[in-house]
Structure 1
Amino acid sequence: MIGTIANTIAILVGSITGSFLKKGIKPRYQNALYNAMGLAAVALGINAVATHMPKSQYPVLFIGSLALGSLLGTKLNLERRFQGLINRYSKSNLAQGLTTGLLLYCIGTLSIVGPVMSALYGDHTYLYTNATLDLVTSTVLAGTYGIGMALAAPVLFLWQGSIYLLTCLAGPVISDALVTEISIVGGILIFCSGISILKIKEIKTLDLLPSLLVPPLFFVLKKVVECFL
């Protein structure tokens, strides 16, 4: 778990550092940071999809994932509920920042494979690398959205900690194929978040979040069917 702890601390340190920098940034420079984060999210999203799409063994799975996930997320009204919760304590658009941050921190090869490698082989390289990237990202995000970005740290800890414990108990249950499918869907969500930040089109990214559950469920059902055949 040491790699996950380091990753969590990196986000906390970055969020605190960025929040102090924000106090001295003029509004026009803050606007420049918004644009920079929007462009970065778009670029990272496109890169994730372009990198993993050629490796996909199920090229239409991401379409079904987005369709089913968006229906469930809209039914649960996740975006409005989350916005309402955050707006009780913050007048800024912190909810948008947290959505982007959580996607960048949690949905990526390093953040998914890292805990697996840590649990199986004691290799923390992936997580230390991810911690370094998240330190920079969290500093910029907190410089844009404020200290509230630190709320992403415990979520990351629970996410990576759950993968770590699951791997310790059940072995390498997260296959390369599953990581590929999750990364494709996650890349699209990161891209959508960037589009929203740039105000090109308002996309309720949180309502798409259940899409990330579809690939794991697909692989579980596939395994069950194979057991009966």
Structure 2
Amino acid sequence: MLGTIVNAVAIIIGGLTGILLRKGIPDSFKNTIMQGLGLCVFIIGLSGALKSENIILVIFCIVIGSIIGEAFAIEDKLQKVGDWLEGNVGRGGEGSMAKGFVTASLIYCVGAMAIVGSLESGLTGNHETLFAKSLIDGITAVIFASTLGIGVVFSSIAVFVYQGIITFSASFVKPFLVAEVIREMSAIGGLLIMGIAINILDIKKISVGNMLPAVFLPIFYPFIEPFLIRVISFFEMLL
């Protein structure tokens, strides 16, 4: 858990630093910075998504994962947590705390480093990936908090819980974590990060939170592979 603890602390420190800097940044600068960050987040997601070597599996996982996420209303629950924080901790502008919490939580949780780093931490006790992620998250938390507010600081709680669960569960899923599975999990995470970028840029509201279960579905690849082979064969016959 050491890597996850360090990661959460880095977000808190970076977020609080961003809050301190917030008043000195004009609104026009904040808007432009957020647009730039949105573009950067999109490229990060795209580079991860392009690593997939099994697009049928990605599509299957996104569809099934979205159904599961909608059934459990994951994004609504995240939003409710953000709204609760907004009402009980304070306001930094209408909806800013909730938006900062949800946006930062998703960005910090769905990336490849969060998944792979937590798995490494749980399986081998190697925290290097999470330490590297901590540095990156701490720096980006400064920028996000300066524009989105204190909700970014509270995303450290979501990161701690999310990565902690993956770390503790790693030993149970170890038999299924072949290289192909990890690659496709990372690719799906990249795809979801692209969705977050679209949200940041206000192009279209995408319910990324409800797609989160898709990231973990490649673990079940050995069981669904026969079905996917039949689907591929069916489309090949049509072509």
TM-score, normalized by length of structure 2? Answer: 0.79
In the aligned structure 2, how far is the partner of 1:10 from the partner of 1:172? 32
Q: Give the 3 Å change call, closer, same or farther, for CA 171–189 of structure 1 in structure 2.
A: closer
Which residue of the partner structure matches residue 186 of structure 2?
183
Which residue of the partner structure matches residue 228 of structure 2?
none
Q: Give the 3 Å change call, closer, same or farther, for CA 140–172 of structure 1 in structure 2.
A: farther
Which residue of the partner structure matches residue 164 of structure 1?
167
Q: Which amino acid aligns with 2:42?
A: V
Q: Which amino acid aligns with 1:113?
A: V
Q: Which amino acid aligns with 2:148?
A: Y
Q: Which amino acid aligns with 2:32?
A: A
In the aligned structure 2, how far is the partner of 1:48 from the partner of 1:222? 23
CA positional deviation for 1:131: 0.9
In the aligned structure 1, how far is the partner of 2:122 from the partner of 2:80? 37
Residue-by-residue CA offset, 1:91-129 (whole Å, 9 max, x unaligned): 234444333322332223322222333344433221211
Instruction: Tell whether the 8 Å contact from 2:112 to 2:190 is kept in structure 1 after alignment.
Output: no
- The alignment partner of 1:199 has SS state of coil
The farther-off stretch of 167-176 and 191-200 is 167-176
Which of the numbers 67, 70, 77 marks the counterpart of 1:71?
67
Instruction: Tell whether the 8 Å contact from 1:100 to 1:190 is kept in structure 2 after alignment.
Output: no
In the aligned structure 1, how far is the partner of 2:29 from the partner of 2:103? 20
Which residue of the partner structure matches residue 133 of structure 1?
136
CA positional deviation for 1:195: 1.0
Q: Give the 3 Å change call, closer, same or farther, for CA 210–127 of structure 1 in structure 2.
A: closer
Instruction: Tell whether the 8 Å contact from 2:145 to 2:151 is kept in structure 1 after alignment.
Output: yes
- The alignment partner of 2:55 has SS state of coil
- The alignment partner of 1:158 has SS state of helix
Instruction: Tell whether the 8 Å contact from 1:15 to 1:150 is kept in structure 2 after alignment.
Output: yes
TM-score, normalized by length of structure 1? Answer: 0.82
In the aligned structure 1, how far is the partner of 2:68 from the partner of 2:2? 35
Task: Map residues 104-119 of structure 1 onto 2, 5 A cutoff.
Answer: 104-119=107-122
Task: Map residues 1-229 of structure 1 onto 2, 5 A cutoff.
Answer: 1-50=1-50, 52-53=51-52, 56=53, 58-88=54-84, 89=86, 90=91, 91-167=94-170, 174-216=177-219, 218-219=220-221, 221=223
Coordinate RMSD, CA, aligned = 2.6
Q: Give the 3 Å change call, closer, same or farther, for CA 155–81 of structure 1 in structure 2.
A: closer
In the aligned structure 2, how far is the partner of 1:124 from the partner of 1:158? 16
CA positional deviation for 1:18: 0.8
In the aligned structure 2, how far is the partner of 1:84 from the partner of 1:157? 18
In the aligned structure 1, how far is the partner of 2:95 from the partner of 2:134? 26
Residue-by-residue CA offset, 1:22-76 (whole Å, 9 max, x unaligned): 12221111111221221122111111112x21xx3x4311111222222333344
Flag structure 1 segments of 5+ consecutive residues without an equivalent. Answer: 224-229
- The alignment partner of 1:60 has SS state of helix
Flag structure 2 segments of 5+ consecutive residues without an equivalent. Answer: 226-239
CA positional deviation for 1:142: 0.8
In the aligned structure 1, how far is the partner of 2:77 from the partner of 2:125? 39
Aligned length: 219
Q: Which amino acid aligns with 2:95?
A: S
